[in-house]
């Protein structure tokens, strides 16, 4: 257990297992947890529902500025379409700027916090005590996501998911506003050869070493 409030930033590309890992890490260290992807997913969904062009920076930025925590509990935010919309609205600086204050205030709560996303270590919490960049090859990530979807009864071809993963990587890493990249002081965790239990233990080792 941590003996002082910690901020842990967990970044990485789509389907790298950040969410599962971040949630388990937060429970293990008794920290609050924020999945920041949900913010972008909710903005994309609200924009689509109100007929706003997802490629319009100002209009989507206005939606982000009005985002309410209740919007994050909507069902359907975890799906593939929501992920695609999220990555489209996430390229716009007005959207990103509107979401900064909420994320920073969550991160600085007295009990400490774990946040996962794309730019937590680079932009949102550059002073986080621990920054982990979780990755895995596109093929491994696509395989995991395909298996996950098939297990839920949503039959989808591996090739389709691999193409989506590559598209999302290209958009997230290629954008000029807060592109996906490891912070200079991030600890890299490649989970290509790890199951979730092994990845969780490896993350705890990194955190314990960084904070001891
Ligand atoms: O779970 P998955 O990795 O598929 O996606 P997510 O973490 O929910 O993020 C969905 C999309 O939101 C990403 O592809 C990014 O474009 C965007 N995002 C971002 O730009 N910055 C963040 N801190 C979190 C998500």
How many domains are contained in the chain? 2
Q: Say yes or no: 61 and 101 in one domain.
A: yes
Task: Based on the fold, state whether residues 82 and 179 are members of the same structural domain.
Answer: no
The response to whether residue 9 sits with its C-beta less than 6 Å from ligand 1 reads no
Domain boundary, last residue among 110, 137, 159: 110
Q: So what's the pLDDT on residue 1?
A: 47
| pLDDT value of position 4 | 59
| pLDDT of amino acid 76 | 86
pLDDT in tens, the chain (212 residues): 445 589 999 999 998 989 999 999 999 999 999 999 999 999 999 999 999 999 999 999 999 999 999 999 888 898 889 999 999 999 999 999 999 999 999 999 999 999 999 999 999 999 999 999 999 999 999 999 999 999 989 889 999 999 999 999 999 999 999 999 999 999 999 999 999 999 999 999 999 999 99
Of 46, 78, 110, the position where a domain reaches its end is: 110
pLDDT score recorded for residue 2: 46
Parent domain of 171: 1-31+112-212
Is the CB of 45 inside a 6 Å radius of any atom of ligand 1? no
60 lies in the same domain as 88: yes
What confidence score (pLDDT) does residue 74 get? Answer: 81
> Known binding site for ATP: residues?
12-20
The CA 37 to ligand 1 mean position distance, Å, reads 4
Domain shared by 60 and 95, yes or no: yes
Question: 88: alpha, beta or left, given left = phi > 0 and alpha = psi -120 to 50?
Answer: alpha
Candidate of 12, 38, 40 to mutate for ligand 1, largest count of ligand atoms within 8 Å of Cβ: 40
Pairwise CA distance, residues 115 & 128, whole Å: 10
Reduced to 3 states (helix: H, G, I; strand: E, B; else coil), residue 133 is: strand
Cα of 212 from ligand 1 centre, angstroms: 31
* 95 C-beta closer than 6 A to ligand 1: no
In whole angstroms, give the CA distance from residue 176 to residue 88.
13
CB 85 within 8 A of CB 92: no
Residue 173, domain CATH: 3.40.50.300
The domain boundary, picked from 110, 128, 159, lies at 110
3: CA distance to ligand 1 center in Å? 31
Supply the pLDDT for residue 3: 55
């Amino acid at each position: 257990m941590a003996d002082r409030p910690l901020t842990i930033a967990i970044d990485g590309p789509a389907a790298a297992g950040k969410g599962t890992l971040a949630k388990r890490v937060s429970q293990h260290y008794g920290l609050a947890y924020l999945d920041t992807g949900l913010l972008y997913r909710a903005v994309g969904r609200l924009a689509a529902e109100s007929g706003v062009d997802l490629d319009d920076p100002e209009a989507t930025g206005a939606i982000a500025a009005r985002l309410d925590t209740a919007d994050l509990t909507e069902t359907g935010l975890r799906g593939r379409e929501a992920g695609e919309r999220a990555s489209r609205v996430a390229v716009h600086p007005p959207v990103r700027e509107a979401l900064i204050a909420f994320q920073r205030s969550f991160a600085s709560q007295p009990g400490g916090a774990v946040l996962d996303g794309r730019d937590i270590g680079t932009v949102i919490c550059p002073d986080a005590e621990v920054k982990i960049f979780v990755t895995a090859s596109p093929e491994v990530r696509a395989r995991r996501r395909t298996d996950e979807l098939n297990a839920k009864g949503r039959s989808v071809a591996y090739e389709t998911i691999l193409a989506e993963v590559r598209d999302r990587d290209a958009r997230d890493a290629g954008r000029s506003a807060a592109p996906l990249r490891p912070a200079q002081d991030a600890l890299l965790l490649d989970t290509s050869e790890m199951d979730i239990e092994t990845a969780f233990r490896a993350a705890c080792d990194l955190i314990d070493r960084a904070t001891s």
